[in-house]
Amino acid sequence: MNAEAPPTNCGACGRPLEQAPGGHRARYYCNATCRKAAWRGRASAWSWLEHNEPQIAAVPTKAPTGLPSPGKSTVNDVAETVCAAAAVCGELRRHGLAAPGLLAVKCYRVASALDAALAAEFGDLLR
């Protein structure tokens, strides 16, 4: 069960939304025009990201294989973890484009901080 309150304003135009009473699905847009406009905005942001920041738009092809045991932490283990952190950074940047309001700002800030830390400490590994 989702404990998050349904939105009170349209995600595209900002007009007040009337939610249907009962257990109905929450409305995020006031009509199909706003829903389509929001979709086009996300698609445009994604296209911009793919064109201008391809390393962020890249979907990781390999998931981490698990945590190393306490007695084992090889260079490959560290490299794999750093690459996974870079993938998380990309996901946070995507959320920074698509998430609503302040959540987008927070995602982008965390992604920027993580990206800066990874570049400062592991820049040679990520090239």
Task: For residues 15 and 41, give the distance between their C-alpha atoms in angstroms, rounded to a whole number.
Answer: 18
For residue 45, being part of any structural domain is answered with no
Task: Please tell me whether the overall predicted TM-score, pTM, comes out greater than 0.85 for this model.
Answer: no
Contacts of 18 (CB under 8 A, 6+ apart): 27
3-58 pLDDT, tens per residue?
Answer: 577 888 888 888 999 888 887 888 889 999 998 988 888 777 767 766 766 665 56
From residue 71, give the alpha-carbon distance in Å to each of 37, 66, 74. Answer: 53, 14, 10
Domain of residue 76 covers: 53-126
For residue 77, being part of any structural domain is answered with yes
Query: Is there a single domain that holds both residue 61 and residue 118?
Result: yes
